[in-house]
Amino acid sequence: MMLWVLLLLVPVLIVNQEMVIRLGLVTGVGHAKLIFERYGRFWGAFSVGDLFIVNCLTLVTEFIGIDLAMQYFGISSYISVPISVLLLIACTVAGNFRTWESFMYLFVAANFLAIPLAFMSRPNAHSVIHDFFIPHVQGGINSDVMLLIISMVGTTVAPWQLFFQQSNVIDKRLTPRWMKYERADTIIGSFVVILGAAALIVTTAFAFQGTELVGKFVDAGAVAKGLAEKIRPMAGAFWDQSKTYFPLAADL
């Protein structure tokens, strides 16, 4: 397990997000506006355009995840995807920031299903601790391993976080005197993100080790079916619920 990669990402998350928090608290404007003001229209348009394209591609992959999760429960794509789209639109246009934030907390809470799911796979505590603090790669470094590391970094430290975090500070109308609370929130959030990601890795690693299913999964739906087979049906449902609500929370 490459849990050590996740641990290395904790300080990166904290530094990146605290940086934009400070910018937001002091300037009172969003990240994009600061880029326009400091670097001009070209780089401002470039950063916003790039963010738009990347977010569109991310939305596609997230709706694929929602679709796969709902198929596990026998719900057609023609039902699950449109409903998810309408739900996201309703959350974002429902009214004020507090309403939006309440929806966010609801969806994020579902991600904690990954923690009991990890325990259901009966992990070896010594192995987990070792893989967190001792960097190593089974079989050595190769192109597949490098692609995996890049994927882990890209899904954990995403550009949209900078824009979101700074706009979040502005929407809350916070001032510099709130800095210590925002710093604490960022540190806690960074560890929670890594904890959830680690729980998903631990779950699949220990649930499928030594079985014929190792390395044969192509999507989250196949993983859910494998968990239901190797652990219990509830495990597959837990996996799908966390994979359904995580994209929704990320979209929000």
Q: Where are the domains of the chain?
A: 3-251
Type and span of the H or E element at 69:
helix 41-72
What whole-number distance in Å separates Cα of residue 95 and Cα of residue 104?
Answer: 14
pLDDT higher than threshold 70 for residue 247: no
State the DSSP code for 139.
Answer: T
Cα–Cα distance list, 224 to 73, 208, 239 (Å): 11, 12, 6
Amino acid at 89: I
More confident site: 42 or 233: 42
pLDDT higher than threshold 50 for residue 132: yes
Cα angle vertex 14, ends 18, 41, to 5°?
50
Average pLDDT, the chain: 81
pLDDT higher than threshold 90 for residue 42: yes
What whole-number distance in Å separates Cα of residue 165 and Cα of residue 47?
Answer: 16
